[in-house]
Amino acid sequence: MANSKLYKGSLQTIILNLLEQNDKMYGYEITQKVKQITNGELKITEGALYPALHKLEAEGFLDVEIINFGNRMRKYYKLTEQGETENVNRLVELQEFIKNMQIMVNPKFSLE
């Protein structure tokens, strides 16, 4: 992950938001989608992705569907209703955070 410390706190929000836009996704697909959207700038490792997915699942924000894919099993993740609400809340929090950071690091060119 590019500058992992900065992204670490937002990983769950990134996952929730991706699932909001893509209905259901599996682990590898999420890593590739993030890589594609950020032009390779942000690479989510398996070590960071799966614990985050399992945590969101345990908290009831994600539902899983295990399907037979070719010769193996594939676990798809999708948002629950609770997850959709959580995504909105986290996006609002993240936007607030970005706004405040912009004010702090560059007061002249802040959003307001």
Partner 1 sequence: MELSKDQIQRIDGFLERLGFEYIDIRYEMVDHIATDIEQNIVNHDEFFRKNKMHGQFLGYMMRKKNDLEKNYVQQSKKQFLFNLWKITKQVSKSILNFKVLVVILFSFTFFQQLINYNIKYTVIITAIISVVVCGFSTLFLWQQIKNIGKVRVVHSYYSIVFFLTYLATYIPNIFTIYKPENHNIFVANFHFVLIFLNVLVVINFVKHKNQFKNRYKYLLS
Residue 83: burial class (beta carbons within 10 Å; 0-12, 13-18, 19+): buried
**Is 74 one of the binding residues for partner 1 (CB under 8 A)?**
yes
- Mark the segment that binds partner 1 (CB under 8 A) among 12-20, 55-63, 81-89, 103-111: 55-63
Q: How far is the CB of 88 from partner 1 (least distance, A)?
A: 23
**Is 28 one of the binding residues for partner 1 (CB under 8 A)?**
yes
Reference 85, options 59, 61, 56; nearest CA is 61
Among 3, 23, 39, 72, binds partner 1 (CB under 8 A): 72
Cα Rg, the chain, nearest whole Å = 16
The residue (of 26 and 94) whose beta carbon lies closer to partner 1 is: 26
3 state DSSP class of 14: helix
**Is 108 one of the binding residues for partner 1 (CB under 8 A)?**
no
Phi, psi of 43, deg, nearest 5? -115, 115
- Contact of 91 with 13, CB cutoff 8 Å: yes
Binding site for partner 1 (CB under 8 A): 26-29, 32, 45-47, 50-51, 54-55, 57-58, 66, 68-75
